[in-house]
């Protein structure tokens, strides 16, 4: 009797199609990994895995990037196993195996129950490639033998026909998967490539007698400008924020425009390491050092060349970044911010197929600016620094009003201070802000690489409103300097309050009442920490100014 001929459907699935199915399930896990990072629960699990790894011997001796890669691989592999278990319970084989036409060789029930057990065995067996080689010779794997299951060919012609399309699909999915990170696939930025012109320069026709230096250690700028026309009123402002049992005093500069009766608040939102942010671009990109050679060398340097230094006049306006480094930083930021599904192939043509690092940078920046509204992004030169400028408009729940935010991230310093300007909801607020920058920032110089830049002024005529921000709430002064500061604060707010009443500017009066109330709170906090830090005479004068302003007592200010 001749040899019994086996039906084609009973042949064990070959090694090549199994490998392609393995790649497919792995790519699905890879994509889900990026998408899942949009959710706190998944991020929390990832953090727990990292905490476990930190308990390993010699953890601190190994580069942090290596451990980040290990964590990512572990999470992707765990998702791969879960995908295979879940889909095998449904189809009898994994999702990719099912798509490629493979099927279980046992009964309906055992294909699923035994198949899930086979997937559990994959946890230990898949990394050991040798146990997956038997299908090359038409034999089941050890996992199949132990689980008493079999993966066989289902529809031979279908498998041959679908495989090329499946390969193209998973290659494309793997390529765009990083865009799912923190939902970057829909979190698009409107990048405007036209550079914004710098603010106008000082003219020879300007009245320099009215100009003075507005120098701030808090904002780390020096502005040579004039507010003689009194259109813009600068009000040093403070907010007390609860931080557990402690209270933090946050300075900001409130800018009131008398022409448009609108105001905005300028503050330092946060401080970031620009190079640390940009180093995310290296992740998974072997071509990074070729495209950004100067930036790659900067990453390898110690912190010392870019560390904040005490200012010395010999430094002038210089920054620590070379022009070549600034050029590469701008290119990397531009390439990262504009990446999306619509231009993914154009991006790959110019920058290579490795997009994960660009997406990481884009998403980190999206966490720096206010959440929720797609920003318009421009590159703007302000003084000696170039900034990324993000504009966002938020609608109030009544649908009638708007609140506008502008976020400025400097690109010329490692020690980047992120500035935020919050406009009021007046229709003219944007124009007002542009006018202010044109007038006040026309000659601004930034010093974010330095500290202790400007000394405490010793003459009353050298004081400006921004000096109040530097010293009133956050620094302790010797008695002589404290007396000078108290006298200036009283004179400044007395003068503005007098003008507000004489101008009959009710908007400015209301604003001053709010600001003066906050000064009372700051004084209480400072005196609570150090009894009698601010004098009783100063407290009495500030209270009198506020009372006279509230009741409209013009006689008090004569």
Q: 348 vs 481, which has greater pLDDT?
A: 481
More confidently predicted of 165 and 66? 165
- Between 476 and 546, where is the model more confident? 546
Cβ count near 460 (within 10 Å): 10
pLDDT of residue 403: 75
- CA 277 centroid distance within chain: 8
pLDDT digits 0-9 by tens, 519-557: 999 999 888 888 889 999 999 999 999 999 999 998 888
Q: How confident is the model at residue 222 (pLDDT cuts 50, 70, 90)?
A: very high
Examine the pLDDT at 248 and tell me if it is beyond 50: yes
pLDDT at residue 181, rounded to an integer: 77
For 297-316, what is the mean pLDDT? 82
- 352 or 62, which is more confident: 352
**Range scoring the smallest mean pLDDT among 160-164, 209-213, 266-270, 478-482:** 209-213
- Per-residue pLDDT at 42: 86
Across 44-58, 113-127, 321-335, 472-486, the highest mean pLDDT is recorded for: 321-335
**Domain boundaries defined on the chain:** 15-180, 190-194+271-425, 475-557
Q: What pLDDT sits at residue 95? A: 93
Residues 6+ apart with CB under 8 A from 483: 535
- Single pTM value for the model: 0.79
Average pLDDT over residues 477-486: 92
pLDDT at residue 211 is higher than 50: yes
pLDDT given at position 184: 57
Most confident of 190-194, 252-256, 346-350: 252-256
Which two structure tokens, joined as six digits, stand for 32? 């889900």
Of 82-86, 240-244, 553-557, give the range with the top mean pLDDT: 82-86
| Contact (Cβ atoms closer than 8 angstroms) between residue 233 and residue 467 | no
pLDDT bin (cut points 50, 70, 90) of residue 294 is: very high
Predicted local confidence at residue 56, as pLDDT: 73
Cβ proximity of 317 and 385 under 8 Å: no
Asked whether the predicted pLDDT for residue 324 surpasses 90, the reply is: yes
Helix (H) or strand (E) holding 273: strand 262-273
pLDDT value for 7 = 42
pLDDT at residue 397 is higher than 90? no
Contacts of 374 (CB under 8 A, 6+ apart): 187, 188, 189, 190, 392
Across the chain, what does the average pLDDT equal? 85
Report pLDDT for 6: 45
- Over residues 412-432, the mean pLDDT reads 84
Confidence of residue 177 (pLDDT cuts 50, 70, 90): confident
How much is the pLDDT for 61? 61
What distance in Å separates the CA atoms of residue 147 and residue 256, rounded to the nearest whole number?
75
Which of residues 69 and 188 earns the better pLDDT score? Answer: 69
Kind and range of the H or E run holding 390: strand 385-395
Q: How far apart are CA 287 and CA 354, in angstroms?
A: 8
Residues 179-208, mean pLDDT to the nearest whole number? 59
* C-alpha pair distances (Å), 51 with each of 55, 65, 120, 135, 283: 7, 15, 25, 39, 21
What span, in angstroms and rounded, lies between the C-alpha atoms of 480 and 369? Answer: 41
Split at pLDDT 50, 70, 90, the class of 48 is confident
Map residue 371 onto helix, strand or coil.
coil
pLDDT score at 2: 47
The band of 183, judged by pLDDT with boundaries at 50, 70 and 90, is: low
Looking at residue 1, its pLDDT comes to 43
pLDDT of res. 425: 64
Higher pLDDT, 432 or 412: 412
pLDDT tops 50 at residue 494: yes
Lowest mean pLDDT among 136-140, 397-401, 423-427: 397-401
- pLDDT tens digit string along 359-393? 889 989 988 888 767 788 899 899 899 999 998 87
Confidence label for 210 from pLDDT (cuts 50, 70 and 90): low
Percent pLDDT > 70 in the chain is: 89
Q: How far is CA 325 from CA 296, 304, 456, in A?
A: 10, 17, 35
Q: Name the more confident of 448 and 40.
A: 448
Q: Are 210 and 226 in contact (CB under 8 A)?
A: yes
Whether the pLDDT of residue 62 is over 80: the answer is no
Window from 178-187, 227-236, 296-305 with minimum mean pLDDT = 178-187
């Amino acid at each position: 009797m001749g040899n019994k001929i086996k039906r084609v459907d009973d042949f064990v699935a070959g090694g090549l199609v199994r490998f392609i199915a393995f790649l497919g399930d792995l790519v699905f896990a890879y994509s889900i990994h990026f998408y899942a990072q949009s959710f706190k629960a998944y991020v929390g699990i990832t953090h727990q895995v990292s905490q476990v790894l930190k308990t390993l011997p010699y953890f601190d001796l190994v580069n942090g990037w290596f451990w980040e890669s290990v964590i990512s691989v572990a999470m992707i592999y765990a998702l791969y196993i879960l995908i295979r278990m879940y889909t095998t319970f449904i189809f009898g084989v994994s999702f990719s195996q099912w798509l490629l036409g493979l099927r279980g060789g046992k009964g309906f029930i055992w294909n699923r129950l035994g198949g899930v057990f086979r997937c559990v065995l994959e946890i230990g067996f898949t990394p050991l490639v040798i146990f997956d080689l038997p299908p090359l010779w038409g034999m089941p794997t050890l996992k199949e033998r132990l689980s008493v299951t079999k993966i066989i060919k289902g529809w031979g012609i279908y498998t041959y026909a679908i495989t090329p399309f499946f390969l193209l699909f998973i290659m494309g999915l793997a390529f765009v998967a990083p865009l799912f990170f923190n939902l970057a696939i829909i979190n698009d930025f409107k990048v405007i490539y036209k550079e914004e012109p710098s603010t106008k320069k000082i003219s020879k026709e300007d009245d320099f007698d009215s100009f003075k230096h507005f120098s701030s250690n808090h904002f780390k700028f020096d502005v040579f400008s004039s507010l003689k026309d009194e259109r813009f009123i600068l009000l040093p402002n403070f907010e007390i924020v609860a931080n557990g049992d402690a209270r933090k005093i946050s300075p900001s500069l409130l800018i009131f425009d008398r022409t448009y009766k609108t105001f905005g608040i300028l503050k330092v939102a946060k401080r970031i390491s620009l190079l640390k942010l940009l180093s995310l671009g290296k992740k998974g990109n072997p071509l990074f050092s070729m495209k950004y050679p100067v930036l790659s060398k900067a990453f390898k340097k110690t912190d010392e060349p870019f560390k904040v230094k005490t200012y010395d006049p010999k430094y002038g306006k210089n920054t620590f970044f070379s022009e070549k480094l600034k050029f590469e930083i701008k290119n990397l930021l531009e390439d990262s911010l504009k990446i999306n599904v619509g231009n993914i192939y154009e991006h790959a043509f110019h920058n290579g197929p490795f997009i994960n690092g660009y997406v990481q940078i884009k998403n980190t920046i999206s966490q720096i600016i206010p959440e929720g509204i797609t920003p318009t992004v421009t590159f703007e030169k302000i003084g000696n620094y170039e900034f990324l400028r993000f504009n966002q408009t938020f609608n109030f729940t009544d649908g009638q009003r708007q609140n506008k935010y502008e976020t400025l991230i400097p690109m010329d310093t490692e020690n980047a201070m992120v500035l935020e300007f919050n406009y009021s909801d007046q229709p003219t607020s944007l124009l007002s802000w542009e006018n202010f920058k044109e007038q006040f920032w026309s000659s601004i110089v930034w010093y974010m690489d330095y500290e202790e830049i400007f000394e405490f002024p010793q003459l009353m005529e050298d004081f400006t409103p921004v000096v109040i921000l530097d010293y009133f709430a956050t620094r302790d002064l010797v008695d002589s300097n404290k007396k000078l500061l108290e006298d200036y604060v009283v004179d400044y707010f007395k003068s503005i309050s007098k003008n507000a009443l004489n101008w009959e500017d009710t908007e400015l009066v209301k604003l001053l009442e709010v600001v003066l109330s906050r000064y009372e709170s700051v004084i209480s906090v400072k005196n609570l920490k150090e009894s009698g830090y601010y004098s009783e005479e100063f407290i009495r004068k500030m209270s009198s100014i506020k009372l006279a302003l509230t009741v409209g007592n013009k006689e008090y200010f004569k």
